[in-house]
Chain A
Amino acid sequence: MPSFYGVEIASALMMGTAGFPSPHALAQAVKASGAQIVTVSLRRESGTERAGQAFWSLVRDLGVRVLPNTAGCHTVQEAVTTARMARDVFETNWVKLEVIGDDDTLQPDVFGLVEAARRLCADAFEVFPYTTEDLVVADRLVEAGCRVLMPWGAPIGSARGLNNVFGLRALRARFPDVPLVIDAGIGVPSHAAQAMELGFDAVLVNTAIAQADDPALMASAFAKAVEAGLAARAAGPIEPRDFAVPSTPVPGQALLA
């Protein structure tokens, strides 16, 4: 099971809370997923509607840890200020750091990300940076003080799975002791199982669950997939081969031709 900044987590499935058809559907899905960590955000609040208060009450009742994000931030300053505001509200040093560099792909601005991570780590934050699979960027993030990395599988909400398996395997091999979480692009439970089979410590899933026809059922399917992938990794998968290898023993075969 994963450990983030010294905190042992009982589930390798993490869930986002956005885009559910109703608060009830969100609560049911979180329960069905077994997730112990959910991501949350900060948005402008109206003094008359106070929508955020109702949401926060619902999340608190779920009894899970929250990982606040800096979604929508495009600059280092915005991300750092948002993180500080999140810490004030959520009373946690954890922050899922996003600095977006491209509006079409929501690809992280890795230069801004490293700078923001440096500033936040120096201010006692425990940073979960949303990054790409780039090894050099990952090195810089670890140098900045990040003790968890969250590489994308594919662009946020794209449901394309693990776009660059080679790059993700290299990242896993390069950072054997840093918890790695696949953060974006997971579309179906088999993608999550694949991530766990590759040795990732956890997956963060939002849209694939929130926008399924039955979010709670999909959440439970993801929980099973993550469990299967984790068990497969522990069991030691065989390596792919270029040619067939007979599974039925050849010795003792009758000569009938």
Chain B
Amino acid sequence: MRILVNGDPHDLAASTVERALEELGFAGAVVATAVNGEFVAAASRASTVLTEGDRLEVLAPMQGG
């Protein structure tokens, strides 16, 4: 299944946000997620299903003013 992760296309076997994060190398990372512009809380990742063409955003703490 092809989804956009932070704007870049990825072919993933995972069907949930939680599995996708593991497949993408984010296991154990402190990140926030959104799918198609909608916030997905950490607690909801296991039950949030991804479908072809979805846009997944994975954000992490960064320097800010």
Q: Do A and B actually bind?
A: yes
Q: Footprint of B on A, CB under 8 Å?
A: 16-20, 26, 39-48, 50-53, 55-56, 59, 68-69, 71, 77, 81, 84-86, 88-90, 156-157, 204, 206-207
Contact with A along B16-36 (1 / 0, CB 8 A): 000001001110011111100
Indicate if B42 sits at the interface (CB-CB under 8 A): yes
Q: List 16 A-B contacts (CB under 8 A).
A: A17-B65, A19-B63, A26-B63, A39-B64, A42-B60, A42-B62, A44-B7, A45-B60, A47-B21, A52-B62, A53-B61, A55-B60, A69-B65, A81-B38, A84-B39, A85-B59
B6 to A: closest C-beta gap in Å: 4
- Chain B residues within 8 Å of A85, by CB: 32-34, 39, 59
A44 pairs with B34, CB closer than 8 A: no
- Chain B residues within 8 Å of A68, by CB: 64
Residue in A41, A50, A207 whose beta carbon sits within 8 Å of that of B29 in the complex: A50
A88 pairs with B63, CB closer than 8 A: no
A-side interface mostly:
mixed
Bound together, the chains give a CA A17 to CA B63 distance in angstroms of 5
Indicate if B46 sits at the interface (CB-CB under 8 A): no
A85 to B: closest C-beta gap in Å: 4
> In this complex, what residue of A is CB-closest to B6?
A44
Known: A88-B32, A89-B30, A89-B31. Is A52-B61 also a contact (CB below 8 A)?
A: yes
Bound together, the chains give a CA A67 to CA B63 distance in angstroms of 11
Interface residue total, chain B, C-beta cutoff 8 A: 26
Bound together, the chains give a CA A56 to CA B38 distance in angstroms of 24
A89 pairs with B63, CB closer than 8 A: no
- Chain A residues within 8 Å of B65, by CB: 16-19, 39, 41, 69, 71, 156-157, 204, 206-207
Indicate if B1 sits at the interface (CB-CB under 8 A): no
- Chain B residues within 8 Å of A45, by CB: 6, 26, 29, 31, 58-60
B17 to A: closest C-beta gap in Å: 12
> In this complex, what residue of B is CB-closest to A86?
B32
For A17, A47, A68, which residue has the most chain B Cβ atoms within 10 angstroms?
A: A47
How many contacts A-B (CB < 8 Å)?
Answer: 113
For B7, B37, B61, which residue has the most chain A Cβ atoms within 10 angstroms?
A: B61
Residue in A26, A59, A156, A206 whose beta carbon sits within 8 Å of that of B61 in the complex: A59
- Chain A residues within 8 Å of B59, by CB: 42-45, 52, 85, 89
Bound together, the chains give a CA A46 to CA B7 distance in angstroms of 11
Residue in A26, A44, A157 whose beta carbon sits within 8 Å of that of B57 in the complex: A44
A47 pairs with B32, CB closer than 8 A: no
Bound together, the chains give a CA A43 to CA B60 distance in angstroms of 6
- Chain A residues within 8 Å of B6, by CB: 44-46
- Chain A residues within 8 Å of B7, by CB: 44
> In this complex, what residue of A is CB-closest to B33?
A85
B34 pairs with A81, CB closer than 8 A: yes
